[in-house]
């Protein structure tokens, strides 16, 4: 039953879209436009009055685009009772929007007599003064006909009051007519009826009220008509009758003080009779609500094409969502029609897209290189698409295509911006005819890889290597905006566009699920070369010992890029604390380079740690296992890792690890077994280092545990699991294509 109703709702959405399109066409091509309407209306009134000694006109206030009251009740009465013309005393529209002006024009067109409007606060709202001037005419004006003069002032202050005062005085001074009628949306005097609508702001500007009312009374204006308050009130001051009428629409209470009405004015020679014409029945609340909803809908089409397209788009999205979520059959279980196990041994052509690669030393380049070597041993053909570095250009013999990158991303020229507009890049990938594309970043070259996978209709796999929120200092945006909003949104949107995602740890998988990634995820840490650690050159190791160690000196190792996100300052603070309580000689070798090298060296000097810490700079990746054999404890403080790959390399060398607990650490380091992970507490962190250095039995136990842990993460195992993941993703992609 629910599906049946959803199907009807789906069809109704499309019906509404069609109706809206045709309605917009009608509004823009068939509805009449109007300009300076008052000019023609005044001519009609003058023609009527010039041929009559006696005439009758109606004054209405606060129409507020009313359909139920003004259009359906008052207009028929006015047409039946032979009024010569109608004047609005203000607030004929509910707001000054274009839609409301067009609506009141259509409503007034139902009158069989001419009409005029007084400019009021609702006409002025939403920059309505410009629309009033375009559609009707000046905000203040006057005209005379026979023995009568009609004056209209702008009580909103849109036109300067001092200027209007001078104009009005000149008009009244030169006037020779017996009958003077003035229209001001704001009353000059309070009605005296203490209703909820009788507010001080509903009367004329206080600083000018006395000047204008004195002038009006001095020159013997016969009647002043106003609106604003939804009441009928008539007062006489200085021989001038002041009438407030605000019951031609809008909201009234329908009691003795506030009710629907209009004012009838009869003029015979110099005699003027003003009387109220109350309506017997008010508007029902339900119809009032329907009327408001109609005007809201109607307004969407006149403010501009943007709102129109927005509304249509909303219905399209709703219809699409209903179709995709409700009407389309969805199978969330894996397809068993294709046996991916049989495909896991089939050689594939795989293209890897990465924003950085060797010779740049970093976790991602090393991970990509190890995966490339492992997959090649399994028989796969690999093409690496990476930026060029000085001395590295073109497609070399090892299946690496270097994309020209003449512009460095940062001031240290370490990150290269590849030219993603290079046609050669696209031709090279298409010519390779890949079976699957593997991207290692969610932007730039990673985005190119995603595009090419969609273009070639092949599956794409994304490896989540980097916690982007920790790299906000590289982005020319407010760091909090990038860190808390853009980074997570970027990863979620990109990952959900891929066919499968690879993460190095369970923590990383949990993070992706928390931010809304719904794709299939493989948890697979990057492998390390266990054989390389086992087959070290004894001679090279002896050379390193003689070069960097002294008698009885304990060697600590840290491998890290020297940049802000790697938290090196925490490391220095921890060593400073260790120095204060561990009295035996020790030396920390920090291997790695980066933009913060000079600042970190200055900080080492400031803390007087030159004899305890040395910055080694970059070393050949092949020599990393030698340094891991050289050290006794591995120190790590970075919290920006998805997987601390160097931690596994350190463990392979038999070094227990002391690290700050984070997403890339938690799944690997086991307290008391292969090292320690601590909270972001430098005292606790340095205490764990001290504990290992002073307890030889604990050091040997954790060293053995570290070696056992590292053996679980071989490159062979790493490559085989990813190869099987490729097969599963490709089979799932093929099964969807068949459907």
Phi-psi region of 675 (alpha: psi -120 to 50; beta: other; left: phi over 0): left
Q: How far is CA 454 from CA 218, 432, 449, 451, in A?
A: 83, 16, 9, 5
Question: How far separated are the first and last CA of the chain, in Å rounded?
Answer: 27
- 242 and 385 fall within a common domain: no
Say what percent of the chain tops pLDDT 90. Answer: 51
> E strands of 541-674, at which residues?
554-559, 586-591, 613-617, 633-636, 657-660
Would you say residue 390 lies in a domain? yes
Nearest to 243 by CA among 256, 231, 255: 231
CA–CA gap between residue 670 and residue 677 (Å, rounded)? 7
Would you say residue 727 lies in a domain? no
- 376 and 231 fall within a common domain: no
- 308 and 254 fall within a common domain: no
CA–CA gap between residue 579 and residue 608 (Å, rounded)? 10
* Whether pLDDT at 6 is above 80: no
CA–CA gap between residue 89 and residue 67 (Å, rounded)? 18
Q: How many distinct structural domains can be found in the chain? A: 4
Tell me the average pLDDT of the chain.
Answer: 84
- 39 and 142 fall within a common domain: yes
Q: By three-state DSSP, how is residue 273 classified?
A: strand
Neighbour count for residue 331 (Cβ, 10 Å): 9
Predicted pLDDT of residue 296:
46
CA–CA gap between residue 283 and residue 302 (Å, rounded)? 27
- 100 and 235 fall within a common domain: yes
- 473 and 549 fall within a common domain: no
- The residue assigned the tokens 């860190």 is 483
Would you say residue 735 lies in a domain? no
CA–CA gap between residue 292 and residue 305 (Å, rounded)? 22
- 618 and 669 fall within a common domain: yes
User: What is the four-CA torsion angle of 258, 274, 45, 221, rounded to 10 degrees?
Assistant: -110
CATH of the domain at 641: 3.40.50.2000
Predicted pLDDT of residue 462:
97
pLDDT digits (tens, 9 = 90+) for 402-427: 998 866 554 444 567 889 999 999 99
- 126 and 220 fall within a common domain: yes
The bridge status of strand 416-417 relative to strand 407-408 is: antiparallel
* Whether pLDDT at 707 is above 50: yes
CA–CA gap between residue 676 and residue 698 (Å, rounded)? 11
Rg (CA), the chain: 41
Would you say residue 726 lies in a domain? no
Q: How many residues does the chain have?
A: 739
Nearest to 658 by CA among 639, 671, 642: 671
Would you say residue 528 lies in a domain? no
Would you say residue 728 lies in a domain? no
* Whether pLDDT at 290 is above 70: no
Would you say residue 440 lies in a domain? yes
Predicted pLDDT of residue 641:
74
- 481 and 617 fall within a common domain: no
Reported confidence tier of residue 26, pLDDT bands at 50, 70, 90: low
Tokens encoding 398 = 């090892």
pTM of the shown model: 0.55
The bridge status of strand 554-559 relative to strand 586-591 is: parallel
Tokens encoding 139 = 């905000």
Domain that holds residue 7: 1-31+304-330
Q: By three-state DSSP, how is residue 247 classified?
A: coil
- 541 and 497 fall within a common domain: no
- 217 and 255 fall within a common domain: yes
- 38 and 11 fall within a common domain: no
CATH of the domain at 158: 3.60.21.10
Domain boundary (497, 523, 549) is at 523
Would you say residue 93 lies in a domain? yes
Residue 510's DSSP bridge partners are none
Q: By three-state DSSP, how is residue 360 classified?
A: coil
391 or 395, higher pLDDT: 391
């Amino acid at each position: 039953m629910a599906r049946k109703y959803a199907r009807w709702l789906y069809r109704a959405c499309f019906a509404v879209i069609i109706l809206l399109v045709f309605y917009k066409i009608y509004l823009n091509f068939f509805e009449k436009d109007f300009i300076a309407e008052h000019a023609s209306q005044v001519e009609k009134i003058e023609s009527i009055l010039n041929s009559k000694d006696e005439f009758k006109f109606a004054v209405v206030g606060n129409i507020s685009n009313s359909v139920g009251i003004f259009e359906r009740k008052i207009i028929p009465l006015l047409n039946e009772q032979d009024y010569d013309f109608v004047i609005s005393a203000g607030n004929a529209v509910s707001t000054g929007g274009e839609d409301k002006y067009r609506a009141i024009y259509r409503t007034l067109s139902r009158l069989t007599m001419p009409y005029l409007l007084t400019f009021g606060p609702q006409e002025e709202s939403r920059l309505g003064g410009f629309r009033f001037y375009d559609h009707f005419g000046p905000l203040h004006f006057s005209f005379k006909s026979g023995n009568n003069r009609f004056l209209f002032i702008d009580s909103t202050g849109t036109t300067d009051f001092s200027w209007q005062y001078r104009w009005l005085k000149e008009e009244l001074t030169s006037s020779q007519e017996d009958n003077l009628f003035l229209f001001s949306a704001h009353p000059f005097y309070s009605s005296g009826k203490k209703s909820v609508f009788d507010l001080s702001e509903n009367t004329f500007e206080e600083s000018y009220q006395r000047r204008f009312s004195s002038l009006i009374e001095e020159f013997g204006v016969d009647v002043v008509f106003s609106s604003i308050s939804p009441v009928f009130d008539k007062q006489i001051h200085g021989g001038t009758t002041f009438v407030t009428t605000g019951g031609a629409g809008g909201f009234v209470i329908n009691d003795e003080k506030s009710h629907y009405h209009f004012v009838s004015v009869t003029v015979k020679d110099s005699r003027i009779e003003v009387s109220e014409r109350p309506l017997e029945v008010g508007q029902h609340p339900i119809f009032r609500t329907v009327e408001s909803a109609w005007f809201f809908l109607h307004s969407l089409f006149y403010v501009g094409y943007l709102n129109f397209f927005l509304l249509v788009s909303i219905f399209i999205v709703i219809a699409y969502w209903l179709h995709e979520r409700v009407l389309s059959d969805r199978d969330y279980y894996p397809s068993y029609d294709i046996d991916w196990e049989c495909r896991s041994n089939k050689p594939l052509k795989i293209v890897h897209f990465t924003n950085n690669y060797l010779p740049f030393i970093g976790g991602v380049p090393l991970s990509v290189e190890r995966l490339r070597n492992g997959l090649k041993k399994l028989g796969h053909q690999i093409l690496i698409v990476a930026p060029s570095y000085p001395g590295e250009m073109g497609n070399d013999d090892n299946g690496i295509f270097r994309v020209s990158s003449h512009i460095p991303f940062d001031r240290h020229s370490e990150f290269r911006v590849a030219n993603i507009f290079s046609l050669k890049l696209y031709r090279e990938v298409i010519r390779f005819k890949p079976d699957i594309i593997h991207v290692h970043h969610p932007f730039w070259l990673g985005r190119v890889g995603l595009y090419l996978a969609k273009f070639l209709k092949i599956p794409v796999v994304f490896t989540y290597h980097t916690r982007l929120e920790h790299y906000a200092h590289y982005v020319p945006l407010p760091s909090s905006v990038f860190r808390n909003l853009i980074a997570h949104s970027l990863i979620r949107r990109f990952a959900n566009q891929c066919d499968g995602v690879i993460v190095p740890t369970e923590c990383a998988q949990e993070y992706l699920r928390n931010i809304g990634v719904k794709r299939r995820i493989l948890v697979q840490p990057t492998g390390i070369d266990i054989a390389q650690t086992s087959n070290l050159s004894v001679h090279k190791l002896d050379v390193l010992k003689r070069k960097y160690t002294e008698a009885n000196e304990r060697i600590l190792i840290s491998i890290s890029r020297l940049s802000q996100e790697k938290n090196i300052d925490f490391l220095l603070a921890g060593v400073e604390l260790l120095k204060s309580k561990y009295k035996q000689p020790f030396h920390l070798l920090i291997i790695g380079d980066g933009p913060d090298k000079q600042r970190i060296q200055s900080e080492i000097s400031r803390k007087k740690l030159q004899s305890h810490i040395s910055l080694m700079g970059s070393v050949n990746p092949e020599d990393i296992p030698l340094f891991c054999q050289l050290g006794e404890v591995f120190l790590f403080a970075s919290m920006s890792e998805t997987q601390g790959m160097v931690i596994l390399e350190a463990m392979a060398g038999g070094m227990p690890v002391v690290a700050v607990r984070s997403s890339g650490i938690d799944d690997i380091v086991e307290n008391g077994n292969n090292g320690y992970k601590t909270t972001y507490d430098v005292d606790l962190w340095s205490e764990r280092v001290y504990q290992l250095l002073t307890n030889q039995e604990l050091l040997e136990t954790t060293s053995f545990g570290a070696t056992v842990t590292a053996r679980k993460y071989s490159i062979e195992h790493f490559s085989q699991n990813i190869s099987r993941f490729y097969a599963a993703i490709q089979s799932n992609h093929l099964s969807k294509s068949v459907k």
